[in-house]
């Protein structure tokens, strides 16, 4: 009995020590990526002739959250109440990323914005999705900015989410002359360990008029119920956008807002939906949400851009909502708005495109 108790004591001490060391590792490894960080712009060998953005010409922008290449229709995610913490395999990540990239390529977009693009990660089997997208799109200019660089998360225990580096990325044949990564406020409670290091990029393009088109690529917080954090993120970004507009520039913000873009205020929110509305009152006076060019009835009928990942996708059963889209300044005319309907073949999101013209 004494020997048993001795072993039990040693075992308990060892387990407690290991847990303590791991917790220390997680907290000591955690850091926030530097704010107002210049972003490296990559130029391909196939530089296009269209270096400046034209005025009064129809242009197209597409945004797509590719979900780190994990979300085939049968994939569910543990943080949403589903089963899995990692993609099925490296080959599955590659196949889904190529499919997403090829889909956007065939849309012939002038500006392609992506979110949840893993550079290296346990969850995505160390596949570099940014390099795959570069190969698929063959754009003249591209960039990425990290918004997730986590220590090794040993959860779920049987298949840990692991250590991951993920990014937001932008591709275009028009010349990117400058770019900046700007950090957003995040929660101060323990959820910061699993939430992304929220940020947006702002990328500058010169127009034929000599002023700038500024493209914002964003991915706002999903796993927080803190209204103050949600509002601070939106307010910081929209304030920045208003400043660019006041400087005489055209401004487009695209991405995964993690807000229900189909509804305009809290009073319209469904009890079933976990997605809070993007309150139009938070927008600057010179901005609007692109989906608002549709009538309220058309909005309801329009295909939703994201599915809940608590279960495999099942049409008519899985909860869906529109989280992805664009906010644009009033010196830009929206010509069309479309959510692609692939049945969530390549991600738990669908891509959203707008056609527009610089006034």
CATH number for the domain harbouring residue 107: 3.60.10.10
Spell out the residues 6+ positions from residue 119 whose beta carbon is closer than 8 angstroms to its own.
128, 129, 130, 144, 146, 165, 166, 167
92 or 280: which carries more pLDDT confidence?
92
142 three-state secondary structure: strand
Query: Are residues 171 and 132 located together in one domain of the fold?
Result: yes
Query: Are residues 51 and 100 located together in one domain of the fold?
Result: yes
pLDDT of residue 221: 85
Summarised one tens digit per residue, pLDDT across range 205-261 is: 999 999 999 999 999 987 666 777 888 899 999 999 999 999 999 999 999 999 999
Residue 272 has a CB neighbour count (10 Å cut-off) of: 7
Output b/e per residue, 329-338; b: 16+ Cβ within 10 A: beebebeebb
Spell out the residues 6+ positions from residue 128 whose beta carbon is closer than 8 angstroms to its own.
118, 119, 120
Q: Give the integer Cα–Cα distance in Å for 176 and 205.
A: 5
Mean of all residue pLDDT scores within the chain: 89
Q: In the predicted model, is pLDDT for residue 120 greater than 90?
A: yes
**Cα–Cα distances in Å, from 115 out to 15, 170, 310?**
38, 9, 20
**Closest residue by Cα to residue 200 from 176, 222, 216, 179:** 216
Query: Are residues 250 and 310 located together in one domain of the fold?
Result: yes
Q: Give the integer Cα–Cα distance in Å for 307 and 256.
A: 13
Angle between helices 129-137 and 90-107 (to 10 degrees): 30
The tokens describing 188, both together, are 């101060």
How confident is residue 32, by pLDDT bands cut at 50, 70 and 90? Answer: confident
| Contact between 289 and 325 (Cβ < 8 Å) | yes
Pairing assessment for the beta strands 250-256 and 212-219 based on DSSP bridges: parallel
Query: Are residues 25 and 118 located together in one domain of the fold?
Result: no
Is the pTM here over 0.95, yes or no?
no
The tokens describing 215, both together, are 């493209």
pLDDT of residue 267: 65
Query: Are residues 131 and 234 located together in one domain of the fold?
Result: yes
Query: Are residues 171 and 23 located together in one domain of the fold?
Result: no
25 or 59: which carries more pLDDT confidence?
59
Domain residue limits at 65: 35-358
Query: Are residues 105 and 225 located together in one domain of the fold?
Result: yes
Query: Are residues 306 and 263 located together in one domain of the fold?
Result: yes
Q: In the predicted model, is pLDDT for residue 200 greater than 60?
A: yes
| Cα atoms in the Cβ-side hemisphere of radius 13 Å centred on 254 | 26
Element (H, E) at 28: helix 2-29
178 three-state secondary structure: strand
Count of structural domains, the chain:
2
Q: In the predicted model, is pLDDT for residue 192 greater than 70?
A: no
**Cα–Cα distances in Å, from 98 out to 93, 162, 294?**
8, 23, 31
Query: Are residues 257 and 270 located together in one domain of the fold?
Result: yes
Query: Are residues 88 and 18 located together in one domain of the fold?
Result: no
Query: Are residues 96 and 229 located together in one domain of the fold?
Result: yes
pLDDT of residue 189: 66
Q: In the predicted model, is pLDDT for residue 156 greater than 60?
A: yes
| Contact between 324 and 342 (Cβ < 8 Å) | no
Query: Are residues 5 and 69 located together in one domain of the fold?
Result: no
């Amino acid at each position: 009995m004494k020997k048993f108790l001795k072993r039990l004591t040693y075992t308990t001490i060892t387990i407690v020590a290991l847990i303590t060391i791991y917790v220390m590792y997680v907290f000591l490894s955690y850091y926030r990526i530097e704010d107002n960080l210049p972003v490296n712009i990559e130029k391909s060998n196939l530089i296009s002739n269209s270096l400046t953005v034209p005025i009064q010409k129809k242009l197209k922008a597409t945004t797509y959250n590719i979900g780190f290449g994990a979300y085939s229709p049968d994939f569910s995610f543990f943080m949403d109440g589903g089963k899995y913490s990692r993609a099925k395999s490296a080959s599955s990540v590659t196949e889904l990323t190529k499919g997403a990239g090829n889909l956007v390529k065939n849309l012939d977009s002038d500006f392609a914005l992506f979110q949840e693009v893993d550079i290296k990660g346990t969850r995505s089997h160390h596949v570099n999705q940014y390099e795959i997208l570069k190969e698929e799109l063959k754009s003249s200019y591209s960039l990425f900015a990290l918004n997730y660089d986590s220590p090794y998360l040993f959860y779920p225990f049987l298949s840990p989410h692991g250590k991951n580096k993920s990014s937001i990325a932008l591709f275009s044949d028009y010349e990117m002359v400058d770019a900046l990564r700007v950090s957003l406020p995040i929660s101060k409670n323990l959820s910061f360990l699993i939430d992304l290091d929220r940020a947006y990029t702002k990328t500058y393009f010169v127009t034929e008029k000599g002023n700038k088109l500024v493209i914002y690529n964003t991915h706002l917080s999903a796993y927080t119920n803190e209204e103050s954090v949600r509002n601070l993120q939106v307010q910081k970004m929209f304030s920045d956008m208003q400043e660019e507009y006041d400087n005489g520039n055209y401004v487009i913000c695209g991405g995964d807002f993690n807000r229900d873009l189909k509804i305009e205020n809290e009073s319209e929110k469904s009890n079933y939906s976990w997605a809070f509305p993007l309150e139009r009152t938070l927008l600057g006076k010179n901005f609007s949400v692109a989906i608002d060019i549709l009538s309220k009835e058309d909005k309801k009928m329009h295909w939703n851009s994201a599915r809940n990942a608590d279960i495999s996708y099942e049409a008519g059963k899985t909860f869906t909502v529109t989280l992805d889209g664009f906010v644009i300044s009033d010196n830009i005319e929206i010509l069309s708005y479309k959510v692609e309907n692939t049945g969530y073949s390549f991600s738990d999101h669908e891509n959203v495109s707008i056609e527009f013209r610089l006034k």
